[in-house]
């Protein structure tokens, strides 16, 4: 694996098809979970640079732990708050607030590090700019070393790999009660802020590519996601209908995609509760975190027996460790 920025980076992996590749990565991640230090020298004398243009807790810490488990050194650089303001547009006349062009900075990161990992967020102001993924593409173009997305303007692939690992782990531990093809529901939830579509896009992209679930997306009117990620899923605005018989419910807010970056709905009836959960097949509930309690997801769910959120966040380490090990391991 050269870069890791979306599920499409698995197409050229040595695993065969994308579904097989996802299963192989999930298996490897669960092996790391059972034996975290089994490849403790794989990254010896290698260094990963993690650039954060935006805040993070889980992604930052889990990537550091993962790299350390492989014997790698990690350097964190909070570009957004500590670095020079970067310019990403080609041929920009830099007479504004940006100080250094990515064309100058990225090759330097390429000299300092063996792998570059980057977190950016969308502006949520200009859909074309955000969906062009200019930031991550410019780093890939100019760094000359493998690039790992720690969440980009439109996708969060390490989160999505983690989510499939967590679903697979839960299926492995539930021999009865869950069909071999689980029903997975992605449900929109209310929020006070306009949030990116990254997690929902990415989850949809990965579950569709995995191909081993009956996948349903439910959201209010006007919250359709970009079809390039959702195609293949059943989409409904009837949350109750969607929840019927669900084995997993993935809860996430996102702002509108079509009329970009807006909040059209804050209806609290979209928040998942134990009453709503009764319609499911005793579904496990997932969320990427951070979560606004009792706005996006209720206390009773988060603190209840069906919540996978802490296990899911813990699994971020094994997803990151698997991806780093795939990049470090030369393809024979």
Contact residues: ligand CP, CB under 6 A: 56-59, 151, 159, 288-290
Q: How far is residue 279's CA from residue 101's CA, in Å, rounded to a whole number?
A: 53
Q: How far is residue 10's CA from residue 16's CA, in Å, rounded to a whole number?
A: 9
Give me the least distance between CB of 90 and ligand CP, in Å please: 29
User: Which helix (H) or strand (E) covers residue 207, if one does?
Assistant: helix 198-210
What the block records as the tokens of 160 is 């999505």
Q: Are 281 and 245 a contacting pair, CB within 8 Å?
A: yes
Give me the least distance between CB of 152 and ligand CP, in Å please: 12
Give me the least distance between CB of 60 and ligand CP, in Å please: 6
Q: How far is residue 9's CA from residue 318's CA, in Å, rounded to a whole number?
A: 18
**CB nearer to ligand CP: pick between 133 and 151:** 151
Q: How far is residue 205's CA from residue 9's CA, in Å, rounded to a whole number?
A: 12
Q: Are 306 and 286 a contacting pair, CB within 8 Å?
A: no
Environment class of 25 (CB within 10 Å of its CB; exposed 0-12, middle 13-18, buried 19+): buried
Q: Is 248 helix (H, G, I), strand (E, B) or coil?
A: strand
Q: Smallest Cα–Cα separation from 253: which of 306, 200, 307?
A: 200
**CB nearer to ligand CP: pick between 186 and 288:** 288
* Torsional sign, CA 297, 299, 304, 307: positive
Give me the least distance between CB of 186 and ligand CP, in Å please: 15
**CB nearer to ligand CP: pick between 59 and 138:** 59
Give me the least distance between CB of 240 and ligand CP, in Å please: 27
**CB nearer to ligand CP: pick between 69 and 159:** 159
**CB nearer to ligand CP: pick between 178 and 225:** 225
What distance, in Å, lies between the first and last C-alpha atoms of the chain? 12
Give me the least distance between CB of 157 and ligand CP, in Å please: 11
Q: Smallest Cα–Cα separation from 62: which of 324, 298, 254, 264?
A: 324
Give me the least distance between CB of 61 and ligand CP, in Å please: 8
**CB nearer to ligand CP: pick between 78 and 234:** 78
Q: Are 224 and 258 a contacting pair, CB within 8 Å?
A: yes
Give me the least distance between CB of 288 and ligand CP, in Å please: 4
Please give the DSSP secondary-structure letter assigned to residue 13: S
**CB nearer to ligand CP: pick between 159 and 218:** 159
**CB nearer to ligand CP: pick between 59 and 68:** 59
User: Which helix (H) or strand (E) covers residue 86, if one does?
Assistant: strand 86-87
């Amino acid at each position: 694996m050269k870069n890791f920025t979306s599920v499409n980076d698995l197409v050229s992996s040595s695993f065969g098809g994308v579904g097989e590749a996802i299963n192989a990565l999930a298996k490897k991640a669960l092996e790391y979970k059972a034996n975290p230090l089994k490849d403790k020298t794989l990254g010896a004398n290698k260094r990963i640079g993690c650039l954060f243009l935006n805040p993070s807790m889980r992604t930052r810490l889990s990537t550091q732990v993962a790299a350390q488990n492989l014997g790698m050194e990690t350097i964190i650089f909070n570009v957004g708050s500590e670095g020079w303001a970067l310019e990403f547009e080609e041929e920009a006349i830099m007479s504004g607030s940006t100080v250094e062009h990515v064309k100058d900075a990225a090759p330097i990161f390429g000299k300092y590090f063996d792998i570059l990992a980057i977190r950016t967020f969308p502006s949520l102001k200009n859909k074309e700019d955000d969906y062009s993924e200019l930031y991550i593409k410019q780093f890939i173009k100019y760094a000359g070393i493998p690039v790992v997305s720690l969440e980009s303007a439109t996708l969060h692939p390490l989160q999505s790999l983690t989510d499939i690992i967590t679903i697979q782990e839960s299926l492995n531990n539930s021999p009865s009660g869950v069909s071999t093809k689980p029903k997975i529901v992605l449900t929109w939830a209310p929020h006070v802020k306009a949030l990116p579509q990254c997690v929902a896009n990415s989850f949809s992209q990965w579950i569709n590519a995995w191909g081993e679930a009956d996948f349903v997306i439910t959201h209010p009117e006007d919250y359709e996601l970009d079809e390039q990620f959702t195609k293949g899923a059943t989409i409904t605005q009837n949350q109750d209908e969607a929840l019927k018989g669900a084995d997993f419910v993935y809860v996430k807010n996102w702002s509108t995609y079509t009329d970009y970056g807006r909040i059209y709905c804050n209806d609290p009836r979209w928040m998942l509760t134990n009453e709503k959960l009764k319609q499911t097949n005793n579904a496990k509930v997932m969320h990427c975190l951070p979560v606004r309690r009792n706005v996006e997801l209720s206390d009773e769910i988060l603190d209840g027996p069906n919540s996978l959120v802490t296990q899911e966040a813990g699994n971020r380490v094994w997803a990151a460790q698997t991806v780093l090990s795939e990049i470090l391991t030369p393809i024979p």
